[in-house]
Chains A and B, each alone.
Chain A
Amino acid sequence: MTETTQHVHQVWIGEFTNELQLRHVDDQQIKDAVLSVREHLADSGDDPRTAFGHARDYAASLSLPTRDEGFSRAGLLTAIILAVASFLTFGITVTRWVGGDDTLAVIFWTIVGATVLLAASVWLTVGIARHVVDAAIRERFSGTEAGKWSRWAPLAIAIPWTFPIFAAIVFTASVLRG
Protein backbone atom coordinates (compact mmCIF):
# COMPACT_ATOMS: atom_id res chain seq x y z
CA MET A 1 0.00 0.00 0.00
CA THR A 2 1.48 3.35 -1.02
CA GLU A 3 1.67 6.27 1.37
CA THR A 4 -0.98 8.16 -0.62
CA THR A 5 -3.37 5.18 -0.58
CA GLN A 6 -2.83 4.77 3.13
CA HIS A 7 -3.58 8.46 3.64
CA VAL A 8 -6.81 8.21 1.58
CA HIS A 9 -7.88 5.19 3.68
CA GLN A 10 -7.09 7.01 6.94
CA VAL A 11 -9.02 10.13 5.94
CA TRP A 12 -12.10 8.12 4.91
CA ILE A 13 -11.95 5.94 8.05
CA GLY A 14 -11.56 9.11 10.17
CA GLU A 15 -14.72 10.60 8.61
CA PHE A 16 -16.57 7.31 9.02
CA THR A 17 -15.59 7.08 12.71
CA ASN A 18 -16.74 10.69 13.31
CA GLU A 19 -20.08 9.97 11.67
CA LEU A 20 -20.67 6.93 13.87
CA GLN A 21 -19.65 8.90 16.99
CA LEU A 22 -22.10 11.67 16.06
CA ARG A 23 -24.80 9.02 15.89
CA HIS A 24 -23.83 7.86 19.40
CA VAL A 25 -22.98 4.38 18.22
CA ASP A 26 -21.40 2.30 20.96
CA ASP A 27 -17.53 2.39 20.95
CA GLN A 28 -17.28 -1.38 20.51
CA GLN A 29 -19.63 -1.27 17.51
CA ILE A 30 -17.56 1.56 15.98
CA LYS A 31 -14.37 -0.48 16.43
CA ASP A 32 -16.04 -3.49 14.82
CA ALA A 33 -17.35 -1.45 11.84
CA VAL A 34 -13.93 0.16 11.26
CA LEU A 35 -12.18 -3.23 11.39
CA SER A 36 -14.68 -4.60 8.85
CA VAL A 37 -13.88 -1.68 6.53
CA ARG A 38 -10.13 -2.28 6.93
CA GLU A 39 -10.61 -6.01 6.29
CA HIS A 40 -12.58 -5.36 3.10
CA LEU A 41 -10.09 -2.78 1.80
CA ALA A 42 -7.17 -5.14 2.50
CA ASP A 43 -8.97 -8.02 0.70
CA SER A 44 -10.29 -6.11 -2.30
CA GLY A 45 -7.61 -3.46 -2.77
CA ASP A 46 -10.48 -1.04 -3.44
CA ASP A 47 -10.52 2.66 -2.73
CA PRO A 48 -12.85 3.25 0.28
CA ARG A 49 -14.96 5.78 -1.63
CA THR A 50 -15.47 3.27 -4.46
CA ALA A 51 -16.23 0.36 -2.14
CA PHE A 52 -18.40 2.12 0.45
CA GLY A 53 -19.38 5.49 -1.05
CA HIS A 54 -19.54 8.59 1.13
CA ALA A 55 -18.59 7.94 4.78
CA ARG A 56 -21.76 9.69 6.03
CA ASP A 57 -24.08 7.61 3.82
CA TYR A 58 -22.32 4.39 4.72
CA ALA A 59 -22.48 5.15 8.46
CA ALA A 60 -26.23 5.81 8.09
CA SER A 61 -26.81 2.66 6.05
CA LEU A 62 -25.40 0.37 8.76
CA SER A 63 -28.28 1.30 11.11
CA LEU A 64 -26.19 0.40 14.15
CA PRO A 65 -27.86 0.63 17.57
CA THR A 66 -27.14 3.88 19.38
CA ARG A 67 -26.64 4.51 23.09
CA ASP A 68 -28.75 7.10 24.82
CA GLU A 69 -27.01 10.24 26.03
CA GLY A 70 -28.71 12.48 28.57
CA PHE A 71 -31.35 10.55 30.48
CA SER A 72 -31.78 6.83 30.68
CA ARG A 73 -35.33 5.58 31.28
CA ALA A 74 -34.39 4.78 34.91
CA GLY A 75 -33.03 8.32 35.41
CA LEU A 76 -36.17 9.87 33.97
CA LEU A 77 -38.43 7.73 36.18
CA THR A 78 -36.38 8.53 39.32
CA ALA A 79 -36.52 12.28 38.62
CA ILE A 80 -40.30 12.17 38.03
CA ILE A 81 -40.92 10.15 41.25
CA LEU A 82 -38.73 12.59 43.23
CA ALA A 83 -40.54 15.59 41.71
CA VAL A 84 -44.01 14.17 42.52
CA ALA A 85 -43.03 13.04 46.08
CA SER A 86 -41.33 16.35 46.93
CA PHE A 87 -44.26 18.32 45.43
CA LEU A 88 -46.73 16.46 47.70
CA THR A 89 -44.43 16.81 50.75
CA PHE A 90 -43.98 20.53 50.13
CA GLY A 91 -47.72 21.05 49.48
CA ILE A 92 -48.78 19.34 52.73
CA THR A 93 -46.08 20.80 55.01
CA VAL A 94 -46.18 24.36 53.70
CA THR A 95 -49.97 24.48 54.18
CA ARG A 96 -49.52 23.37 57.82
CA TRP A 97 -46.65 25.84 58.36
CA VAL A 98 -48.67 28.79 57.00
CA GLY A 99 -51.64 27.54 59.06
CA GLY A 100 -49.65 28.07 62.27
CA ASP A 101 -47.95 24.70 62.81
CA ASP A 102 -44.33 25.87 63.09
CA THR A 103 -42.84 22.74 64.66
CA LEU A 104 -39.29 21.84 63.67
CA ALA A 105 -40.46 18.75 61.74
CA VAL A 106 -42.90 20.77 59.59
CA ILE A 107 -40.28 23.46 58.83
CA PHE A 108 -37.66 20.80 58.10
CA TRP A 109 -39.88 18.85 55.64
CA THR A 110 -41.04 22.05 53.95
CA ILE A 111 -37.43 23.05 53.24
CA VAL A 112 -36.49 19.50 52.18
CA GLY A 113 -39.58 19.30 49.90
CA ALA A 114 -38.79 22.65 48.24
CA THR A 115 -35.09 21.81 47.77
CA VAL A 116 -35.71 18.34 46.31
CA LEU A 117 -38.48 19.73 44.07
CA LEU A 118 -36.15 22.37 42.60
CA ALA A 119 -33.29 19.87 42.25
CA ALA A 120 -35.55 17.31 40.47
CA SER A 121 -36.84 20.01 38.10
CA VAL A 122 -33.31 21.15 37.25
CA TRP A 123 -32.25 17.50 36.81
CA LEU A 124 -35.15 16.82 34.41
CA THR A 125 -34.51 20.02 32.46
CA VAL A 126 -30.78 19.31 32.04
CA GLY A 127 -31.47 15.70 30.96
CA ILE A 128 -34.08 16.75 28.40
CA ALA A 129 -31.92 19.66 27.19
CA ARG A 130 -29.02 17.26 26.56
CA HIS A 131 -31.27 15.13 24.34
CA VAL A 132 -32.36 18.24 22.44
CA VAL A 133 -28.78 19.50 21.98
CA ASP A 134 -27.53 16.03 20.92
CA ALA A 135 -30.34 15.67 18.39
CA ALA A 136 -29.62 19.17 17.00
CA ILE A 137 -25.88 18.40 16.68
CA ARG A 138 -26.63 15.08 14.98
CA GLU A 139 -29.01 16.79 12.57
CA ARG A 140 -26.47 19.51 11.77
CA PHE A 141 -23.44 17.28 11.22
CA SER A 142 -24.73 13.90 10.15
CA GLY A 143 -28.02 14.73 8.47
CA THR A 144 -30.00 12.51 10.89
CA GLU A 145 -33.42 14.07 11.47
CA ALA A 146 -33.82 15.43 15.01
CA GLY A 147 -37.50 14.44 14.66
CA LYS A 148 -39.57 14.67 17.83
CA TRP A 149 -36.73 16.33 19.77
CA SER A 150 -36.82 19.27 17.40
CA ARG A 151 -40.63 19.60 17.33
CA TRP A 152 -41.30 19.16 21.05
CA ALA A 153 -38.11 20.71 22.50
CA PRO A 154 -39.66 23.87 24.07
CA LEU A 155 -42.54 21.90 25.59
CA ALA A 156 -40.23 19.12 26.86
CA ILE A 157 -37.95 21.64 28.58
CA ALA A 158 -40.91 23.55 30.11
CA ILE A 159 -42.71 20.48 31.54
CA PRO A 160 -40.40 19.91 34.58
CA TRP A 161 -41.22 23.45 35.80
CA THR A 162 -44.93 22.61 36.10
CA PHE A 163 -44.27 21.17 39.57
CA PRO A 164 -42.50 24.23 41.09
CA ILE A 165 -45.13 26.52 39.51
CA PHE A 166 -47.96 24.52 41.14
CA ALA A 167 -45.99 24.47 44.42
CA ALA A 168 -45.72 28.27 44.26
CA ILE A 169 -49.50 28.50 43.61
CA VAL A 170 -50.19 26.22 46.62
CA PHE A 171 -47.87 28.36 48.79
CA THR A 172 -49.49 31.63 47.64
CA ALA A 173 -52.99 30.25 48.17
CA SER A 174 -52.04 29.09 51.70
CA VAL A 175 -50.58 32.51 52.60
CA LEU A 176 -53.64 34.35 51.26
CA ARG A 177 -56.01 32.02 53.12
CA GLY A 178 -53.97 32.23 56.33
Chain B
Amino acid sequence: MSREYAEATEWPSDWLRAALGLAALRTLENGPSYGYAIIAKLADAGFGTIKGGTLYPLLSRFEQASLISTEWRPGKAGPGRKYFTLTDTGRSILDHQRRDWANFSHVVTEHLTPRKGTQS
Protein backbone atom coordinates (compact mmCIF):
# COMPACT_ATOMS: atom_id res chain seq x y z
CA MET B 1 0.00 0.00 0.00
CA SER B 2 1.51 3.36 -0.96
CA ARG B 3 1.11 6.90 0.26
CA GLU B 4 -0.04 7.91 -3.24
CA TYR B 5 -2.88 5.39 -3.06
CA ALA B 6 -3.99 6.71 0.33
CA GLU B 7 -3.88 10.28 -0.92
CA ALA B 8 -6.16 9.32 -3.77
CA THR B 9 -8.50 7.39 -1.43
CA GLU B 10 -10.17 8.75 1.66
CA TRP B 11 -10.80 5.76 3.89
CA PRO B 12 -14.16 5.62 5.67
CA SER B 13 -13.68 6.86 9.22
CA ASP B 14 -15.13 3.71 10.82
CA TRP B 15 -12.60 1.55 8.94
CA LEU B 16 -9.81 3.80 10.17
CA ARG B 17 -11.16 3.73 13.72
CA ALA B 18 -11.05 -0.06 13.72
CA ALA B 19 -7.52 -0.35 12.35
CA LEU B 20 -5.77 2.70 13.73
CA GLY B 21 -4.91 1.35 17.18
CA LEU B 22 -3.16 -1.68 15.80
CA ALA B 23 -1.46 0.42 13.14
CA ALA B 24 -0.20 2.88 15.78
CA LEU B 25 1.25 0.02 17.84
CA ARG B 26 2.94 -1.29 14.68
CA THR B 27 4.74 2.04 14.16
CA LEU B 28 6.38 1.54 17.58
CA GLU B 29 7.47 -2.03 16.91
CA ASN B 30 10.95 -1.08 15.70
CA GLY B 31 11.66 1.40 18.47
CA PRO B 32 10.35 4.43 20.39
CA SER B 33 8.80 7.30 18.48
CA TYR B 34 6.95 10.58 19.11
CA GLY B 35 3.50 11.84 18.09
CA TYR B 36 4.20 13.65 14.86
CA ALA B 37 6.63 10.95 13.65
CA ILE B 38 3.93 8.32 14.25
CA ILE B 39 1.49 10.41 12.19
CA ALA B 40 4.10 10.68 9.40
CA LYS B 41 4.72 6.90 9.47
CA LEU B 42 0.99 6.21 9.27
CA ALA B 43 0.70 8.61 6.33
CA ASP B 44 3.62 6.84 4.60
CA ALA B 45 1.93 3.50 5.22
CA GLY B 46 -1.14 4.74 3.35
CA PHE B 47 -3.53 5.66 6.16
CA GLY B 48 -3.83 9.30 5.07
CA THR B 49 -3.30 12.24 7.40
CA ILE B 50 -4.26 11.32 10.94
CA LYS B 51 -5.05 14.31 13.14
CA GLY B 52 -3.50 14.87 16.57
CA GLY B 53 -6.99 14.85 18.06
CA THR B 54 -7.39 11.27 16.82
CA LEU B 55 -3.95 9.86 17.61
CA TYR B 56 -3.18 11.25 21.08
CA PRO B 57 -6.37 9.99 22.80
CA LEU B 58 -5.56 6.55 21.39
CA LEU B 59 -2.00 6.74 22.75
CA SER B 60 -3.34 7.99 26.09
CA ARG B 61 -5.61 4.93 26.38
CA PHE B 62 -2.73 2.62 25.41
CA GLU B 63 -0.56 4.24 28.09
CA GLN B 64 -3.27 3.73 30.73
CA ALA B 65 -3.59 0.10 29.62
CA SER B 66 0.25 -0.28 29.89
CA LEU B 67 0.59 -1.19 26.21
CA ILE B 68 3.06 1.66 25.80
CA SER B 69 5.30 3.63 28.15
CA THR B 70 6.30 7.27 27.76
CA GLU B 71 9.37 9.37 28.33
CA TRP B 72 10.04 13.06 27.75
CA ARG B 73 13.29 13.80 25.91
CA PRO B 74 14.66 17.31 25.46
CA GLY B 75 14.29 18.75 21.94
CA LYS B 76 16.58 21.17 20.11
CA ALA B 77 13.91 23.85 20.45
CA GLY B 78 10.37 24.02 21.78
CA PRO B 79 8.83 21.91 24.53
CA GLY B 80 10.80 18.67 24.00
CA ARG B 81 9.37 15.42 22.74
CA LYS B 82 7.28 12.74 24.38
CA TYR B 83 8.53 9.36 23.18
CA PHE B 84 6.25 6.33 23.20
CA THR B 85 7.73 2.85 23.63
CA LEU B 86 5.96 -0.46 23.12
CA THR B 87 5.91 -2.48 26.36
CA ASP B 88 6.10 -6.29 26.49
CA THR B 89 2.33 -6.36 26.98
CA GLY B 90 1.86 -4.06 23.97
CA ARG B 91 4.17 -6.23 21.85
CA SER B 92 2.26 -9.36 22.80
CA ILE B 93 -1.10 -7.69 22.01
CA LEU B 94 0.28 -6.51 18.66
CA ASP B 95 1.49 -10.03 17.75
CA HIS B 96 -1.80 -11.59 18.74
CA GLN B 97 -4.04 -9.02 17.05
CA ARG B 98 -1.92 -8.95 13.91
CA ARG B 99 -2.71 -12.64 13.37
CA ASP B 100 -6.39 -12.06 14.17
CA TRP B 101 -6.55 -9.09 11.80
CA ALA B 102 -5.00 -11.15 8.97
CA ASN B 103 -7.66 -13.81 9.48
CA PHE B 104 -10.41 -11.21 9.73
CA SER B 105 -9.33 -9.37 6.56
CA HIS B 106 -9.15 -12.72 4.75
CA VAL B 107 -12.70 -13.53 5.84
CA VAL B 108 -13.96 -10.09 4.73
CA THR B 109 -12.13 -10.27 1.38
CA GLU B 110 -13.41 -13.79 0.72
CA HIS B 111 -16.93 -12.74 1.56
CA LEU B 112 -16.82 -9.63 -0.63
CA THR B 113 -15.29 -11.32 -3.66
CA PRO B 114 -18.00 -11.92 -6.26
CA ARG B 115 -18.21 -15.47 -7.64
CA LYS B 116 -19.71 -16.63 -10.86
CA GLY B 117 -23.03 -18.40 -10.57
CA THR B 118 -23.75 -17.40 -6.93
CA GLN B 119 -26.35 -14.96 -5.72
CA SER B 120 -24.78 -14.10 -2.36
Interface residues, chain A, CB within 8 Å of chain B?
32, 35-40, 42-44, 46, 50-53, 57-58, 61-65
Asked whether A61 lies within 8 Å of B57 as measured between CB atoms, the reply is yes
Asked whether A52 lies within 8 Å of B52 as measured between CB atoms, the reply is yes
Asked whether B82 lies within 8 Å of A36 as measured between CB atoms, the reply is yes
Interface size class on chain B is 20 to 34
Q: Could you say which residues of chain B place their CB within 8 Å of the CB of A63?
A: 57, 60-61, 64
Q: At the interface, is chain A mostly helix, strand, loop or mixed?
A: helix
Listed by A's residue number, 26 A-B pairs whose Cβ atoms lie within 8 Å are A35-B79, A35-B80, A35-B82, A37-B52, A38-B78, A39-B34, A39-B75, A39-B79, A39-B80, A39-B81, A39-B82, A40-B36, A40-B56, A42-B78, A42-B79, A43-B35, A43-B36, A51-B52, A52-B56, A58-B53, A61-B53, A62-B56, A62-B60, A63-B61, A64-B60, A65-B64
Q: Does B51 contact A (CB under 8 A)?
A: yes
Most buried by A among B36, B53, B56: B53
